[in-house]
Structure 1
Amino acid sequence: HAGDPPLADVQMLIHLSADRKSAAMVSIPRDTRVDIPECKDPDTGKTYPATNDIINVTLARGGAGCTLLTWENLTGVYIDHWMTIDFAGVVRMADAIGGVDVCVNQNVWDRPTATVSGGSGLKMTKGTHKVQGEQALQWLRTRHAWGDDLMRARAQHMYLNSMIRTLKKQNVFTDTGRLMDLADAATKSLKVSEEIDVKDLYALGMQMKSVPADRITSVTMPNKRDPLDENHVVPDEANADKMWRMLRDDVAFDKNGGKDGKDAGKDEPAKKPSLDPGRLGVLVRNATRTSTEGAVAQRASAIGRELVDKGYTRAQADTSGSLAEEKTVVRYPSADLEGDAQAVADALGIPREQVQKSTDVSGVTVVVGADWRTGPSYPKTSEPEAGDLPDNTDAVNGSDTTKCMDVYSVYQW
């Protein structure tokens, strides 16, 4: 970032299924406009107020933790760990595995032009090439030659899929010494959340050995042009929400696993409520505002009245102002109220997996999200099936060796 605030231009959510039989890599375009929650920088103590901005600025608003909070706010997916890698680390990791095969359909040279400055410097001829060191970094940074930032994500997915195939071909996931060496090299190249160490990375690598390449899927978050700025995008809410739900429900992104696409632990029995409905205080918050639409007026009051009709006579609306959350959730502060929160969710038809423990609430709290803007009962949605991704995710399967990048004509030579 050369003295300027750091930008998280490449962001991916990595999901390893509970049965360790499939994996997914989800990219989000750096210029995606999202709601960024309040963040506090752990190093300086500075607090950054909630805002609406493009997601790559989150790193400068409290570090990687702020980026993580923004992802969780956007997706409703609980994220266990985070890692960041800088440019020098990318070079070291590419060298550590001896290079990665990438492919272009035309000669490419990503260089400054008369109208567009900058460029990664990537220069190669048509066909497949093994890249490592600086050239690997150039491949991952190239944007103009592919046409836009969305295509850069595709090139990154191709690189990562090729890297995993290379590691499997080298039997790295079954070679204890080599895997430990790579894990040790990775910790020198990465900044990680404090709970991760070399042994954790090694263990994760060992778990990856059971995931075949054709069960790894790379996608880009479904998006559409931002009505406020044509240079930005916003989530394509219906399709993005479908994909986030697949992650939350542990549904595989590919169709190559038969019927093992869902987490068997999803249907655990409900906890017993600690209070009768009439004695339980329930707060309802209006979070129906989105990046493109205003909040639905009196939405919290309407759902509060619905709860009163169902016997929760102490339910009341939060009048402190509207929030913005993609997904409706029921939150509770402590284990003794989990059963009560589940019962409230059941009364409103909210799926059990949308009941969350949170230290941000002092009692059972219904947060009415953008997915429930009308009606007294939470809208029922069909269960997602393995591999049933929206069409606009630009999915790339990890076993596909036929994909090559098309080069924008200006950058051909």
Structure 2
Amino acid sequence: MSQVGHATARALLRRLAVEQAECRVPSLTAAIVRDGRTAWFGGRGRVGDAAPTPATQYRLGSITKSMVAVVVMRLRDEGALALGDTLDTHLPGAPHGHLTIAQLLSHTAGLTAEPPTTWWERTPGVPVADLFKRLGPGELKHRPGRRFHYSNVGFALLGELVGQLRGTTWLQAVRGEVLAPLGMNDTTARPRHPHATGYAVHPWADVVLAEPEHDADAMSPAGQLWSTPHDLARWAAFLGGDTGGVLCGDTLAEMREPAGVDDGDAWTGGFGLGLQLARTGGRRLSGHTGSMPGFLATVWADPAEGVGVLFMANTTSGLSGRLAIDLLDILDEHEPRLPDEWRPVPADPGLLALTGLWHWGPKPYALRLLPDRGLSLEPLNGGGRASRFVPQADGTWLGLDGYYAGETLRVSADHLDLNTFVFTREPYDAAAPVPGGVSDWHA
């Protein structure tokens, strides 16, 4: 679907208009992406004397981090680094060089949130060498790996890492490896015409104050970029799985895996590898929020539904916090996604014979055949360890998720060996390997 219906568009526009009016936003844009294409765009307020358009630039803030993270993952996929490598493996002499690349990407390194400088978002940036001199032992606030602690400083370090390994700057690497291949040609380090001016809105009067905009220099990988609704819609499509060859799908899925949570046991917000995560209304969203003086932006993608949402505003604060989710709710209410049609697919007779009931000890499990020779093993009563498996060249299967993620499944006609756990057709089959029948069943 490339466009939403009239009633849907009206409902989406009304929600946007309410947000702009009630939150007193100088200008506000939003878009819905469906199946990789922009299905709806809306703009309210004024940029200069005109309404904002899909080509109007706003500052992205921390959404920049997600683009830097993609280059880091490309380096990993090329074999230039491992996520378990320490920073000083590739950046000798860097402060806090004992921290791992994965910890920096996931904000679990324990580094301070902000650099030990003046308020970096509102003042001209300092050079990398100056920043590095300031990052002493006291800037490590938590034991590495202990907890989620958002760190702008961590992405300053990652930006320098990218520049070192690419022999250029983080900006040139992001532009050449991410923005240009995706056609995001209006995403730039400094504003270009037409762009919104960043404003602070007075809390008790309908007046505004222009916010400053500077080159953040060493801190720029944490939030320097400007972009447009058009370009950010392409980024939403990327996050949803339309990677355009920039990143393989498995790597993007890895970036979406939760590495840390920031709101307790029943988490609704967390972080993967450079991507912010949210769980709301049954959705699992990945993307990033962004804020800089005078600007707020958010982009989310729901890969399971093939949908994305974004907004960009030129205000320092004051949005409701519900706009993006409400827009998705409106889309679901008016034009819910239809499930893909079920169609039969060819099945390997040997694998088909393996499907059905198996037992782990006395507990019954169902083995199902998935597309492309994949397997699914899950308990019949819904409680317990369930995983999906994909075939390997050596005849085994590799666990994709759940308890058995990364573990090996070996399949025989009379039993399944899952990392030493043996599943049999009958409970504790005496003829099967360990544990076999331990004794006769009796009353």
Fold match (TM-score > 0.5): no
Kindly indicate whether structure 1 or structure 2 has the higher relative contact order, using CA contacts under 8 Å at least 6 residues apart: 1
> Over alpha carbons, which structure has the higher Rg?
2
Which of the pair is proportionally richer in helix? Answer: 1
